[in-house]
Amino acid sequence: MAGDYRVPMSAPDIAPEDIMLVTQALESGVLSLGPFLDQLETAFAAYIGSRHAIGVANGTSGLHLCVRAAGIADGDEVITSAFSFVATANCILYERGVPVFVDIDEASFNLDPTKAAAAVTARTRAILPVHVFGQPCAMRELQALCGARGLALIEDACEAVGAEYDGRKIGTFGKAAVFGFYPNKQMTMGEGAIVTTDDPEWAALMRSLRNQGRSAMGTDAAHEHLGYNYRLDEMSAALGLSQLRRIDELLRRRAAVVARYDRLLREIPGIKVRPPLPSRTRPSWFVYVIQVAPEIDRDRLIAQLEARQIPSRPYFAPIHLQPYYRKRFGFREGHLPVTERIAATTLALPFHAGLSADDMDNVVDALHAAVTRAAA
């Protein structure tokens, strides 16, 4: 690749109408808990098909509010996946619960429902599946399990806005779901997240908790709960509202990038693209991830790509092997063999809705050249 040009790993898709709406929020003089938040919550609930949507500061705070609403307390167990960003498990610890990690399905990278069922104990209070990379989990099986055992089902949908299962939007299967909107997500608010739920009591509690536990009247004097500052500001809400208005276009463009990558990468030896999953699911592409063969040194591959101005990232480092979790819970390699194997062989390539054909060609050419050099 000539010159110093570097293919971007990710990039937000910011349009003139996004800037216009954020400017309107700034010019309004109402910068928090205002009309743009109200409009976003109404529009997002309609898009997902939920009764309530609650805007919050980020995905971590949204997950924390769900765990709090579920009543998780000292020693209560929550079954979840270790193949995720660490916030998925941290939110359980915030309420002194215990994350119980079970292994993932080899094809989908998502929580294995059979293994989740086997992990249920008398202390289990909830299951928190993660729609990894925007691929929906096996929600019917998880719904049935939670219904039979009286467990709360909380969807970590931070990577999955617009994804569908059996023709129904993710975010409508559990007691609540959380969608995150960091700049590398399908749509962005810069930061920010939205919790969806059909339960009016959960919705009311979350609205209070995000605003320092204030009463429904919103007065400064009446604090009914131990709350937090998890508010979503008006500028972020305005950006989210504008992005939501063209979410279908953003998802189509990402799907087109995936299709082209799939076609180009299938011919590279030692590289495996994600196989098509059952037709009952429609993914919403968050990142583009490949798997590398065991004979390829992934670290050397990353270095070779970097030398060609192509960034790449391992996804994810298993939560149970993070230093804090090792120290606190004593986890070691071998606890979750499928998770650990997938984590050791996956690699995210540059990906966003505006990735050009030239950029994709450069990524593929560099990967083809790097694979030979990286072979062990």
Q: Which amino acid is it at 216?
A: A
**What is the spatial distance between Cα 194 and Cα 308, in angstroms, rounded to a whole number?**
38
Segment 336-348 mean pLDDT: 97
Q: Please, which pLDDT band fits residue 1 given cuts at 50, 70 and 90?
A: very low
Structure tokens at 358: 């030239």
Segment 35-44 mean pLDDT: 98
Structure tokens at 161: 């806005």
Q: Which amino acid is it at 364?
A: V
**Same domain for 225 and 359?**
no
**Same domain for 240 and 251?**
no
Q: Please, which pLDDT band fits residue 217 given cuts at 50, 70 and 90?
A: low
**Same domain for 35 and 183?**
yes
Q: Please, which pLDDT band fits residue 156 given cuts at 50, 70 and 90?
A: very high
Write down which residue in 192, 227, 244 finishes a domain.
Answer: 244
- Asked if 115 is an active-site residue, the reply is no
Quick one: DSSP state of residue 132? G
151 exposure class (CB count in 10 Å sphere: 0-12, 13-18, 19+): buried
| Greatest C-alpha distance within the chain | 66
Segment 265-281 mean pLDDT: 87
The residue behind tokens 């939670």 is: 146
**Same domain for 231 and 270?**
no
**Cβ atoms of 162 and 243 closer than 8 Å:** no
Asked if residue 145 belongs to a domain, the reply is yes
Tell whether the model's pLDDT for residue 279 goes beyond 90: no
**Cβ atoms of 130 and 84 closer than 8 Å:** yes
> What pLDDT is attached to residue 360?
98
Q: Please, which pLDDT band fits residue 222 given cuts at 50, 70 and 90?
A: confident
**What is the spatial distance between Cα 266 and Cα 69, in angstroms, rounded to a whole number?**
45
Q: Please, which pLDDT band fits residue 274 given cuts at 50, 70 and 90?
A: confident
**Same domain for 328 and 286?**
yes
| CATH code of the domain covering residue 358 | 3.90.1150.10
Of 95, 92, 81, which is closest to residue 133 (Cα–Cα)?
81
Asked if residue 3 belongs to a domain, the reply is no
Q: Which amino acid is it at 161?
A: V
**Same domain for 34 and 173?**
yes
**Cβ atoms of 196 and 176 closer than 8 Å:** yes
**Same domain for 238 and 256?**
no
Write down which residue in 224, 244, 264 finishes a domain.
Answer: 244
Contacts by 215-223, CB closer than 8 A, 24 or more apart: 218/33
245 exposure class (CB count in 10 Å sphere: 0-12, 13-18, 19+): middle
Asked if residue 309 belongs to a domain, the reply is yes
**Same domain for 308 and 166?**
no
The residues that bridge with 223 in the sheet, in sequence order, are 214
What pTM was computed for the model? 0.96
Write down which residue in 244, 271, 305 finishes a domain.
Answer: 244
> What pLDDT is attached to residue 218?
55
Query: Of the residues 169, 185, 272, 327, which is catalytic?
Result: 185
Segment 159-173 mean pLDDT: 97
**Mean pLDDT for the chain overall:** 95
**Same domain for 257 and 182?**
no
Which DSSP string do the residues of 188-256 spell out, in sequence order? Answer: --SS-EEEEES-HHHHHHHHHHTBTTB-TT--SS-B-S---B-PPBHHHHHHHHHHHTTHHHHHHHHHH
**What is the spatial distance between Cα 86 and Cα 79, in angstroms, rounded to a whole number?**
14
Phi, psi of 292 (to 5 degrees): -105, 145
**Same domain for 30 and 129?**
yes
**Dihedral, CA atoms, 314, 315, 316, 321, nearest 10 degrees?**
-20
**Same domain for 47 and 133?**
yes
Tell whether the model's pLDDT for residue 2 goes beyond 80: no
Antiparallel, parallel or unpaired: β 288-292 and 271-273: antiparallel
Domain boundaries, position 226:
16-244
Asked if residue 198 belongs to a domain, the reply is yes
**Same domain for 212 and 343?**
no
Q: Please, which pLDDT band fits residue 220 given cuts at 50, 70 and 90?
A: low
Number of domains in the chain: 2
| CATH code of the domain covering residue 85 | 3.40.640.10
Asked if residue 9 belongs to a domain, the reply is no
What's the helix, strand, coil split of the chain in %, to 5? 40, 15, 40
Give the start-end residues of each E strand in the chain: 52-56, 77-81, 98-102, 124-128, 152-156, 164-165, 168-169, 176-180, 193-197, 271-273, 281-282, 288-292, 346-349
**Cβ atoms of 20 and 243 closer than 8 Å:** no
> What pLDDT is attached to residue 219?
60
Q: Please, which pLDDT band fits residue 276 given cuts at 50, 70 and 90?
A: confident
Q: For the packed helices 59-69 and 87-94, what is the interaxial angle rounded to 10 degrees?
A: 40
Asked if residue 119 belongs to a domain, the reply is yes
Asked if residue 4 belongs to a domain, the reply is no
Q: Please, which pLDDT band fits residue 318 given cuts at 50, 70 and 90?
A: very high
Phi, psi of 334 (to 5 degrees): 100, -10
**Cβ atoms of 199 and 176 closer than 8 Å:** yes
